[in-house]
Chains A and B, each alone.
Chain A
Amino acid sequence: MDQYSVHNTNLKEVLPENTLSSRVPQVKVSREIKPSQARHLNEISKYIIYRDNEKCRMCGTCSKICPEGVHVLKPGYKLFATPKSYKCIGFRCEKTDNYCISKCPNGALRLVENPMMEALGDYRWTSDIILATWKMAETGNVLPEDTDYEYETGASEGGFDRIRLKYPDKPPVEVSEDDIDISIDLNKRNDGKPKIKIDVPWYGGGMSYGSVSNVTQLSKVRAATAWNTFSCSGEGGYMERFRPYDDHMITQVATGLFGVREETIQRVPIVEFKYAQGAKPGLGGHLLGSKNTLSVSRMREAVQGIPLFSPFPFHSVYSIEDHMKHIDWIKHVNPRALISTKVSTPTDVDMVAVGSYFAGTHIIHIDGGYGGTGAAPDIAKKNIAMPLEYAIPKVHSFLVAEHARDSVTLIASGGIRSYYDIVKSIALGADGVVVGTAELVALGCVRCGRCESGRGCPRSIATTDPELTGKMTIEWGTQRLINLYNAWSIGLKKILKRFGMKKISELCGRTDLLIHLDFMKSSDAK
């Protein structure tokens, strides 16, 4: 159950009176893990079990031996229900005593790989990664070690998918998972601003109301609240319904300035300047007219039904000095806010990052091209800007060379699919990551790529259509994300334990713990 608290004691000195007086009680959300099954009648599974009802003699052997609950005879029914294939662990069950296929005395059961796997997912988000993410969002736990879901890497044949973790034969230090700290600091400057620490090395990416539904947005921020991290409003304005979660919100100031008001800037602990986004670097944002419904247009203070562009770039920023003026503006409006600067990954992303640091930003957020929910030209996603996996070490090493690395937080986003990608990002030099698509997959996204069209997402996630939005509840969405966060934190701690690390910050820049298959020596291969 939600609890209520007001944390305004230390805000009196820094918030304007009208903002303080209009502040609403802040909601706490429980971090409790609860099973949260898929919303649909038929969950997609890696395997399918067929039951031949003509051969089945209803002996019940299958339901007795299956610990996963695949075979169900509902009370009052004469026949078994269609096997719950998504619970089946597949052919690895063959090694156990619970393999229903061989144990069925009448040979009525048949196990096959689901032919739909070819149609689910893509090179980056393979069907295995999608299904594994769904499992984690359902159970709140990582998959068993002997799982046959390959979710450490995708099939893109480059970047994270060619990088492997190099575990020591034996951890240099034995640590308990309970003692491992995966929190990160978002303010590394000693500038008198709040020292914000988040409990997990990630926060939720900016998704505007318009690009996703308000149910999706609220689910994200509630999960962030439960895990003492952040979610981001995106560029579509600041919903009133965010206000009970102000302390876990980042609000975005982007080129379109949709719904940006001093009042909303004052509500939050972090303000993010979005100079560019990885999915459409250098192109600005674009909300198609069909998704600009009445409620979206009101929040953005725009006209319903017309396409909305966030032009690129900021017309007031053509240099780092201009950027500094931007930051000073926010610091003046909201003196307690940390500043995040979100940029894409051009050739000189390292120069941009250092410039932004000297301008006074607390967080440098580099956004690669694999993420994004809204409409983006295919040509941009595929071809423009540097892949994130190159940008992270490039920025990290340059910040180190400029003696700035210890005073700024480096966050990577746009392509983080799992806790393995988080580990690789941090080992390459980031402090933490921003996640977006992974959250949407946890909510049931199949990555059909139709976020932008017509009524929007048929999965009720990236839509503004009232009927479609209503197919998902905030409670269900919140729980799925809380579960995913829990699974990821477990997974991270397991990896850190193998590295013998007590803190995730020890991992930052430890490229010696990574192997790139293209550079692998024969000795490493062994």
Chain B
Amino acid sequence: MPEKYHIETTHIPPRLPRIGKYGIIDWREDCAGCHNCVKKACIYDKYREESKFINSLDSIHTIYFECMGCFSCVQNCTKGLLCLTVNPEYKKLGNEYWSPEILRTTWLQAETGKVPVSGAGYRGKFYGPGFDSMWTDMSEIVRPTRDGIHGREYISTAVDIGRKPSFLTFNGDKMNSGLSSLLSLPLPVIFDMPSPDHTLPKLEPFIIEAAWRTELIALIDSEKWTLLKDYDEKYLSHIAFHLNPDSHNIPEEILKKTRLAEIPYSNLVNKHIAVIKNINPDIVVSVRLPLTSQSIDQSLQLTKLNVEVIHLVADLNGNELNTKNPRFIKDMIRDIHGNLIKNEIRDEVTIIAGGGIGLPEHLAKAVICGADLVSINLPLMIALECRLCNSCKSGNYCPAALDKDIDIDYGAGRMVNLMGAWHWQLVEVMGAMGMREARRLRGDVGRAMFYEELQNEIYGPIFST
């Protein structure tokens, strides 16, 4: 049995005061000084902790960050002076896709490396756009299942990247052609290049370190290869260069030590792949394909051209590019995956889906919809307390201090923690489904339920008449 994949996590507190959801905002006059709120009502002792924290800060960013929202102090204040409300700073976080809740839970996972747990049931919307309009299945008593979560059996989250021929041909006892290169990752995730929209943080050193620690792969723009000059060679097998085939300037000896490379989509992909393979025959080459309305045809064409990996990239919110009415990445992956199945060549190519992957359930759902693995970038930046304020471009002061010196153990450690939490959550979801292998999860839409289908199949006969 192979060694179990495990990501070592450790508690890494934030550098800045947390932006909590709740806050006591109204200390009206007339306080009796009874201290009921701080001594009796707040069982979390947050008032005193908060004061201690604030006193040790150079500057006070906010005073609302640790309240648990239980209303105990509000209801037990002798004079009824306290008022609890939602922190306005919290509401401003992120954007319409990257909600404050996604940022909050990402920060928590990056800090603790643990699966977020809460009581009192689900409190969100029934469904939503994008990945929130599907549910994953669980196995009940009628299906064999196992309890790998609790240690008896191993749930493998490993996936393969590369081309897998549908069949082998032999001439007598000899194979006619060699097997394609194939590499395995222990988790269906690669780290994509940092978003060009967020230019301020220099995240590459942390991403590379995190990729090495998690045994994953980080995509790095070939222009930044000089960052590696002082690097230990151990990192090279965890780096994939995004190459401009016409002008990449990476020394061949470096390229030879990497396992994966990426080139942009063009009409000359085969020629470019040949150039790279000429340098490193064992390397797997991925083609980065912007997710547009042409992607279904392009992905089929690339697969027929024997391309090993297609990296489909939507915008940061998971939407199709270059259109006013974009479709979401989940729906487009299903179509692309289905089209390749229809043409009987799906198993020959690896599909990486990127854009809009912000939570571990997005990872599981993207795989169910037909991707082999996903690429992420924004969650890694959010792990370092980024608020997605989008002020990177204007050169404003970064509220998450990402332009300051960041300790490598903090930067890489938070990313590692995040991946550790994602890994466990993927295992939880797969365990509930009765799945032992992430490889088998790909395209298994029978393990999912889609909002539109449930509405039509179950409510249609009832309410349509």
Contacts and interface: CB of A to CB of B under 8 A. Distances in A.
Interface of A: 38, 40-44, 82, 115-116, 118-120, 122-125, 155-159, 161-162, 275-276, 279, 281-284, 286, 288, 309, 311-315, 317-320, 322-323, 343-344, 346-349, 351-352, 355-356, 369-387, 390, 393-394, 414-415, 437, 445-455, 457-459, 462, 468, 511, 514-516, 518-519
A276 B140 contact: yes
Given A309-B150, A346-B139, A41 B80 contact: yes
A518 B462 CA distance: 12
B455 interface: yes
Contacts of B135: 383-387
B365 to A, nearest CB: 8
B89 interface: no
A452 to B, nearest CB: 5
A376 B432 CA distance: 13
B430 to A, nearest CB: 10
A344 B140 contact: yes
B75 A382 contact: no
B254 interface: no
- Tell me which of A41, A375, A451 has the highest count of chain B C-beta atoms within 10 A of its own C-beta: A41
A445 to B, nearest CB: 7
B78 interface: yes
A313 B141 contact: yes
Nearest to A347: B137
18 contacts: A82-B80, A116-B85, A123-B123, A158-B127, A281-B432, A282-B139, A282-B140, A283-B432, A286-B117, A312-B145, A343-B140, A344-B140, A377-B425, A393-B462, A453-B119, A454-B44, A511-B462, A516-B462
Contacts of A320: 141-142
Contacts of B167: none
A451 B120 CA distance: 7
A450 B68 contact: yes
A346 B140 contact: yes
A384 to B, nearest CB: 5
B150 to A, nearest CB: 5
B125 A378 contact: no
Nearest to B430: A282
A458 B164 CA distance: 56
B76 A40 contact: yes
A516 B455 CA distance: 10
Contacts of B85: 115-116, 118-119
Contacts of A451: 118-120
Interface string B424-458: 01001101111000000000001001000011001
Contact of B431 (A282, A415, A447, A455): A282
Contacts of B454: 386-387, 390
B463 interface: yes
- Tell me which of B121, B150, B425 has the highest count of chain A C-beta atoms within 10 A of its own C-beta: B121
B141 A376 contact: no
A133 to B, nearest CB: 14
Contacts of B137: 346-347, 384-385
Contacts of B118: 375-376, 378, 381, 449-452
A343 B78 CA distance: 46
Contacts of B144: 318
A371 B123 CA distance: 9
Contacts of B105: 378
Contact of A515 (B70, B122, B463): B463
A447 B120 contact: yes
Dominant SS at the A interface?
loop
Interface string B82-125: 01111000000000000000000100000000011111111111
A123 B124 contact: yes
A290 to B, nearest CB: 12
Contact of B126 (A314, A387, A454): A387
Contacts of B79: 82
The 4 closest A-B pairs by CB, nearest first: A158-B126, A451-B119, A282-B432, A282-B138
A379 B361 contact: yes
A390 B458 contact: yes
A382 B118 CA distance: 12
Interface string B294-306: 0000000000000
B265 interface: no
A118 B86 contact: yes
Contacts of B149: 283-284, 311-312
A450 B70 contact: yes
Contact of B119 (A118, A374, A380): A374
A462 B140 contact: no
A312 B43 CA distance: 33
B359 to A, nearest CB: 8
A295 to B, nearest CB: 19
Contacts of B127: 157-158
B14 to A, nearest CB: 19
B150 A514 contact: no
B170 interface: no
A174 to B, nearest CB: 28
A118 to B, nearest CB: 5
Nearest to A278: B121
Contact of A123 (B125, B138, B446, B463): B125
Interface string B163-202: 0000000000000000000000000000000000000000
Contact of B71 (A44, A157, A437): A44
- Tell me which of A323, A355, A370, A379 has the highest count of chain B C-beta atoms within 10 A of its own C-beta: A379
B117 A375 contact: yes
B123 A41 contact: no
Contacts of A286: 117
Contact of B432 (A159, A319, A347, A380): A380
B457 to A, nearest CB: 9
Contacts of A125: 123
Contacts of A394: 458
B140 to A, nearest CB: 5
A377 B455 contact: no
B360 interface: yes
B72 A459 contact: yes
B410 interface: no
Contacts of A346: 137-140
A44 B195 CA distance: 45
B147 interface: yes
B280 interface: no
Contacts of A116: 71, 74, 83-85
Contacts of A382: 122, 124, 361
B112 to A, nearest CB: 12
B74 to A, nearest CB: 7
Contacts of A318: 141, 144-145
B264 interface: no
A44 to B, nearest CB: 6
B136 interface: yes
Contacts of A390: 454, 458-459
Contacts of B429: 379-380, 383-384
A351 B449 contact: no
Contacts of A468: 43
